[in-house]
C-alpha cells in the first residue's frame, strides 16, 4: 500500500488511542516505516527524534541490534506458553534478577502484560491481603488528584485526571483523593524556600479520618507523569510511609512510567528512604519492545495467600499472555545491557546536559516552568507567567506541529511539553531537541 492508501484504510478501519478521530481525519496520521536509535522515519523518509520514547517505553533506541538478536533467538525456541502450572527459564531469570536488583526488598514477582494490569494486580492484591489477614473492613483506596495509573476500570478508579477519568465516574469505585503535591502550582501557596510538604496534610487527614477502612495508598513516586509531569519531594513519600505503617495500610508505588532508569536510578523509590509494599513495573522493562509488566511484593503479602486450596486464598488473576516468553527473553536481555553497558551510569552527564539546555528556554514567552527529574524533563507552557493560565489546545497543537516540522515528536500532555527520550541520546541530539523546542515555541 502507498501512503495515501494506508491513511485511507486507517481512517476506514482503525480507532486510535487518546485521539479525537475527527481531528486526526484532518491532521492525518504519520505513517511510520522504520525506527533506528532515537529516530523514527516516516514513509516519506522524514526523520523524527522520538522524544517521548513512543509513549515512554523505549530506553535503548529503536531496533537495537542486541535486543533484536535476543528476540530472534527466543522465537526459534518458544513464543509463548500458559503460565499456570508451567514456567520457563527466562521468566524465572527475570524474576530472580528483579528481586536481586531490589536488594530483596521485594521477593515475589507476579507477571502481567501492561502497566494498567500491573496496577489492577496491585489493587486486588492489597485488598485481598487485608481481607485474608483479618481486616475485611479495609476495602478503600487512597490516591492523588492528578494521578494516572492506566485505563482499565480499577486503574481509572484510582486515577485523578478529570479530562480522562471524569466521564467514567458513575461506573468506577469510590476512592479517597488527596491533593496533588504540585510544586509549580502549590496547593498550599508555599514556595520552594518555605515548603515543609504542607500538601501532605491533605493525605494525612484522609488517612487519620478513614484508616480503619483503608486497604492501601497508591502513588506515582516523585512524579505524577501523565497528570502533567508534576514533580514533588521525596519527603512526602517518607511521611506517607510512616502513616501507612502506623495504620497497617499497604503502600503501592506505580513505577510503570519511572522504573528502569527514567529518574536516573533504576527505580524511583531508590531516591528515598521508603520501600513500598508493592511496586508496579512495565514500559521500560522490555526496552520498548514487547508488552510485559510485573507487580512485585514481599513475603508478608505473599504469605497471606499461601495456604491449603480449600481455604480459598488463591489469587485469582491471570492474563492469557502472562509472562510471555518472547517478552521475558527481551527483558532479560534488556537488564543485561543496562548492566554490562553501564547505561544508568551514562545518564548522569545527559541529565546535566538537559538541565543546561533547558535553562535556555526559561525566559521564552509562554514558558511558565521548566522541571526535571533525572531523564524526565518538562516545559510547562502558560498564557502568562503570573496567572499561570495553561496554554490552550490550539496553541499546543501548533507547538506540536511546529516540532514535527523541525523533526521531533514532542506530543504534549495538555499544556506540558515533556521529554522522555531513549537513554542513548547524545549531547548533540539533546542540543538539537532543545533547539527544536525553542523554535517550535517561538512560532506558536
Among 50, 197, 220, 369, binds ligand PMP (CB under 6 A): 220
SS (H, E, C) 188-237: CCCCCCCCCCCCHHHHHHHHHHHHHHEEEEEECCCEECCCCCEECCHHHH
**Stretch of residues binding ligand PMP (CB under 6 A), selected from 144-152, 319-327, 358-366, 404-412:** 144-152
Distance CA 107, CA 100 (A): 9
**47-49 vs 39-42, strand pairing mode:** antiparallel
Count of residues that bind ligand PMP according to CB under 6 A = 14
Is position 257 an interface residue for ligand PMP (rule: CB under 6 A)?
Answer: yes
Among 282, 287, 329, 440, binds ligand PMP (CB under 6 A): 282
Cβ closest to ligand PMP, residue 330 vs residue 436: 330
**Stretch of residues binding ligand PMP (CB under 6 A), selected from 100-108, 110-118, 234-242, 318-326:** 110-118
All three cell numbers of 374, joined, read: 533525572
Element (H, E) at 396: helix 393-405
Q: What is the DSSP string of 142-174?
A: EEETT----SSHHHHHT---HHHHGGGGGGS--
Is position 115 an interface residue for ligand PMP (rule: CB under 6 A)?
Answer: yes
Is position 114 an interface residue for ligand PMP (rule: CB under 6 A)?
Answer: yes
Give the shortest CB-143-to-ligand PMP separation in angstroms: 11
Is position 116 an interface residue for ligand PMP (rule: CB under 6 A)?
Answer: yes
**108-112 vs 278-281, strand pairing mode:** unpaired
Closest residue (Cβ) to ligand PMP?
Answer: 115
Among 256, 323, 335, 440, binds ligand PMP (CB under 6 A): 256
Q: How many residues does the chain have?
A: 444
Is position 226 an interface residue for ligand PMP (rule: CB under 6 A)?
Answer: yes
CB 136 within 8 A of CB 130: yes
Give the shortest CB-375-to-ligand PMP separation in angstroms: 15
Is position 122 an interface residue for ligand PMP (rule: CB under 6 A)?
Answer: no
Is position 373 an interface residue for ligand PMP (rule: CB under 6 A)?
Answer: no
Is position 120 an interface residue for ligand PMP (rule: CB under 6 A)?
Answer: no
Task: For CA atoms 319, 325, 327, 332, give the dihedral sign.
Answer: positive
Cβ closest to ligand PMP, residue 150 vs residue 368: 150
Among 120, 254, 277, 357, binds ligand PMP (CB under 6 A): 254
**Stretch of residues binding ligand PMP (CB under 6 A), selected from 146-154, 207-215, 312-320, 358-366:** 146-154
Distance CA 296, CA 376 (A): 23
Residue 79 CB burial class (10 angstroms; 0-12, 13-18, ≥19)? exposed
Distance CA 248, CA 78 (A): 43
CB 372 within 8 A of CB 378: yes
Q: Which residues bind ligand PMP (CB under 6 A)?
A: 114-116, 119, 148-150, 220, 225-226, 254, 256-257, 282
Amino acid at each position: 500500500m502507498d501512503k495515501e492508501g494506508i491513511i485511507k484504510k486507517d481512517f476506514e478501519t482503525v480507532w486510535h488511542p487518546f485521539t479525537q478521530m475527527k481531528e486526526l481525519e484532518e491532521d492525518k496520521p504519520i505513517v511510520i516505516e522504520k525506527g533506528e536509535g532515537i529516530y523514527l522515519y516516516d514513509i516519506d523518509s522524514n526523520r523524527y527524534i522520538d522524544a517521548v520514547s513512543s509513549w515512554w517505553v523505549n530506553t535503548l533506541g529503536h531496533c537495537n541490534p542486541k535486543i533484536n538478536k535476543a528476540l530472534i533467538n527466543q522465537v526459534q525456541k518458544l513464543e509463548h506458553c500458559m503460565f499456570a502450572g508451567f514456567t520457563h527459564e527466562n521468566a524465572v531469570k527475570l524474576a530472580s534478577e528483579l528481586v536481586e536488583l531490589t536488594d530483596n526488598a521485594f521477593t515475589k514477582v507476579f507477571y502481567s502484560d501492561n502497566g494498567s494490569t500491573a496496577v489492577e494486580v496491585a489493587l486486588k492484591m492489597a485488598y485481598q491481603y487485608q481481607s485474608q489477614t483479618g481486616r475485611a473492613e479495609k476495602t478503600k483506596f487512597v490516591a492523588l488528584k492528578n494521578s494516572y495509573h492506566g485505563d482499565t476500570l480499577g486503574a481509572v478508579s484510582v486515577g485523578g485526571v478529570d479530562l480522562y477519568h471524569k466521564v467514567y465516574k458513575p461506573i468506577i469505585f469510590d476512592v479517597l483523593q488527596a491533593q496533588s503535591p504540585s510544586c509549580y502550582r502549590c496547593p498550599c501557596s508555599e514556595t520552594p524556600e518555605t515548603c515543609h510538604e504542607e500538601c501532605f496534610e491533605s493525605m494525612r487527614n484522609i488517612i487519620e479520618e478513614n484508616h480503619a477502612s483503608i486497604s492501601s495508598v497508591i502513588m506515582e513516586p516523585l512524579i505524577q507523569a501523565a497528570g502533567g509531569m508534576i514533580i514533588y519531594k521525596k519527603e512526602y513519600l517518607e511521611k506517607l510511609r510512616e502513616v501507612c505503617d502506623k495504620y497497617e495500610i499497604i503502600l503501592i508505588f506505580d513505577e510503570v512510567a519511572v522504573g528502569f532508569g527514567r529518574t536516573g536510578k533504576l527505580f524511583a523509590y531508590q531516591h528515598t528512604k521508603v520501600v513500598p509494599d508493592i511496586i508496579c513495573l512495565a514500559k521500560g522493562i522490555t526496552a520498548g519492545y514487547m508488552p510485559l509488566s510485573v507487580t512485585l511484593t514481599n513475603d508478608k503479602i505473599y504469605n497471606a495467600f499461601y495456604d491449603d486450596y480449600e481455604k480459598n486464598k488463591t489469587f485469582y488473576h491471570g492474563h492469557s499472555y502472562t509472562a510471555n516468553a518472547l517478552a521475558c527473553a527481551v527483558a532479560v536481555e534488556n537488564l543485561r545491557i543496562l548492566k554490562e553497558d553501564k547505561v544508568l551510569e551514562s545518564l548522569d552527564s545527559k541529565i546535566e546536559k538537559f538541565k543546561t539546555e533547558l535553562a535556555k528556554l526559561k525566559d521564552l514567552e509562554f514558558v511558565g516552568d521548566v522541571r526535571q527529574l533525572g531523564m524526565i524533563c518538562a516545559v510547562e507552557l502558560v498564557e502568562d507567567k503570573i496567572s499561570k493560565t495553561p496554554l490552550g489546545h490550539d496553541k499546543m497543537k501548533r507547538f506540536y506541529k511546529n516540532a514535527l516540522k523541525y523533526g521531533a515528536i514532542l506530543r504534549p500532555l495538555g499544556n506540558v511539553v515533556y521529554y522522555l527520550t531513549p537513554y542513548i541520546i547524545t549531547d548533540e541530539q539533546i542540543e538539537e531537541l532543545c533547539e527544536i523546542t525553542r523554535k517550535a515555541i517561538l512560532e506558536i
